[in-house]
Amino acid sequence: MLYIIGLGLSDERDITVKGLEAVRSCERVYLEAYTSILMVDKPRLEAFYGKPVTVAHRETVESDSDEILRDADSVNVAFLVVGDPYGATTHTDLVLRARERNIPVTTIHNASIMNAVGATGLQLYNFGQTVSIVFFTDSWRPDSFYERVAENAALGLHTLCLLDIKVREQSIENLMRGRPVYEPPRYMSVSLAAEQLIEVEASRQGNVCGADALAVGVARVGSDDQLIRAGTLRQLAAHDFGAPLHSLVLVGHRLHLLEAEILRTHAIDLDSLNRTLKDKYKLEPFQSALGRFAAHQPRGVATRRFPPLQRRWYAQRLGADDSVLTSEWKQLLLSWKTLGLIAIPITAFALGTWQVYRLKWKLALLDDVNDRMHRRPIPLPLHVTADEIARNEYRRVLVHGVFDHAAEMLVGPRAMEGEPGFIVVTPLVREDGSRVLVNRGWIRRDLKDPRARPASQPAEPVTLVVFVRRAPRDNAFTPKSDPLSNEWYSIDVPRMAARSRSQE
């Protein structure tokens, strides 16, 4: 069995109980050490797990995975990943290689920065695409991430920026000479990432990540000394976040009121953050908004209060004096006028949603009808059932037989382009003696007598290509047809079939 186990974010204790049991059952344990790092060294992991740990660098995982998978079909092997196992595509590739060898794979998940970033107070479902920021060099300053950030910004979504890690990196000279000499590890800081973002914005000019853009820097998330600070990119670039690992979040314009309140608790400079929130996001502190609300309360109502639940919400959660929220204000907020105003956008949204779904249904129906109408004609079955009619409606079918003109029925009056007339329905007698009703189309009123239109009365057998249609429904204003006198005001298929001994 190959176990792919997430270790969490901080130290050896972040592994799950299930993951720890799996590690202790394994013959070999590998630690992936290039997409992220834990904040403790290998000896501490080995002491906690009770197992020797082999560090697997990038070249091992990507080029020498055979060693990791050796005998994994007969013994347990653990592959440990900082954070969650599937934070990097390399680990998915390892799973595919194992399955090619019919090695069972069990994944044990854990927390990663992708969900732990919620510690900033920003709501996870307000995040868009995640991007990576790499170290700039003198000759390479990649900014391909900018389009993803711009797309998120256009939707008002936050952007999580994963910051570069350089572990076992070789210099160009050592790489060219084939010498296994590696540079010291480097971990991008929030301040450096902020500087690079500002530089990219100066080049791109898209107003996405300039010096005044609101952002949140995080360091050592999940540890006892995790640090979260909110401010502009200019402020983050000047702030020391300490030891790695770091990440950065660019804040989208759809910032929620409660998200803003949490960011205030992480502010580098609260006054500056409040100005940014007011100017760019139109958000003010709860206390200020409620203070203006209290200034307009009716005289003498401050002694009457909301029930305890509402008091706790406003006084404890919002930090406001709940006496400003009186029973008179409660009655005002819940009055029929307020409810009516609330109902208007809800109703409009519901109707709009219904219209969108109806449009999709209509377009799909039209596509289906168009497809059926252009298919190759098929022979009409000898016995036509209601299910076959529904299944083949709008299909072209071939039918051969002789018209029974003596049983012809005229439906009407029906007008076409302002001229009165009738729809002609005639039974067609097929070779086996069965009959089907054929809607032959519209004629003018002066052609009601068959003798006035001899060309429409062929006596020889005919082969027709016709569309299969279900009979239209009558409305409440359509008069009742009279089969005995052969007077038809609608295409009443059952009664017409009975009169002409045809199939329905």
How far lies 184's CA from each of 10, 58, 180, 439, in Å?
Answer: 22, 16, 13, 87
Could you tell me if 29 and 4 are in contact, meaning their C-beta atoms sit under 8 angstroms apart?
no
Q: Which amino acid is at 131?
A: V
Q: Which of 107, 49, 97, 109 is nearest to 73 (CA)?
A: 97
Of 252, 214, 219, residue with least CA distance to 234: 214
Residue 443 near residue 429, CB atoms below 8 Å: no
Question: Which of 16-20, 229-233, 342-346, 441-445 shows the lowest per-residue confidence on average (mean pLDDT)?
Answer: 342-346
Is the pLDDT reported for residue 307 higher than 50?
no
Q: What number is the average pLDDT over the span 153-158?
A: 95
Q: What is the pLDDT of residue 39?
A: 81
Closest Cα partner for 236 from 279, 187, 203, 272? 272
Q: How far apart are CA 295 and CA 137, in angstroms?
A: 57
pLDDT at 90: 64
Tell me which amino acid residue 100 is. E
- Rounded distance, CA 190 to CA 160, Å? 12
Amino acid present at 498: A
Q: Give the bridge partners for 230, in sequence order.
A: 216, 267
pLDDT value at 316 more than 50: no
> 3-class DSSP state for residue 3?
strand
Rounded to the nearest integer, the mean pLDDT of the chain is 85
Return the number of other C-beta atoms located less than 10 Å from residue 337's C-beta. 9
For residue 395, give the 3-state DSSP assignment.
coil
Give the mean pLDDT of 456-478.
Answer: 85
Helices marked H in 76-224: 89-100, 113-116, 146-154, 172-177, 190-204
Section 156-179 average pLDDT: 82
458, pLDDT greater than 50: yes
Largest CA distance in the chain: 107
Range picked from 91-100, 262-271, 283-292, 408-417 for highest mean pLDDT: 262-271
Q: How confident is the model over 184-210, as pLDDT tens digits?
A: 889 999 999 999 999 999 999 999 999
Looking at the predicted structure, is the pLDDT value of residue 268 above 80? yes
**Half-sphere CA count of 100, side-chain side, radius 13 A:** 9
Statement: residue 146 has pLDDT above 70? yes
Is residue 104 predicted with pLDDT exceeding 90?
yes
C-alpha distance from residue 281 to each of 402, 489, 494 (Å): 78, 66, 67
Is the sign of the CA dihedral 192, 218, 161, 56 positive or negative? positive
Pairing relation of β-strands 186-187 and 214-219?
A: unpaired
Q: Judge whether 132 and 161 are in contact, CB under 8 Å.
A: yes
Residue 174 buriedness (CB in 10 A; 0-12 / 13-18 / 19+): middle
Helix 17-24 and helix 42-49, axial crossing angle in degrees, nearest 10: 90
Please give the pLDDT value at position 333.
55
Both tokens of 76, joined, read 């347990």
- The DSSP 8-state label assigned to residue 416 in this structure reads E
Residues 28, 78: contact at Cβ < 8 Å?
A: yes
Alpha helices in 101-245 (DSSP H): 113-116, 146-154, 172-177, 190-204, 233-237
Q: What is the mean pLDDT of residues 68-92?
A: 87
- Residue 398 Cα to chain centre, angstroms: 46
Cα distances (angstroms) measured from residue 251 to each of 36, 81, 115, 120, 125: 24, 29, 16, 11, 13
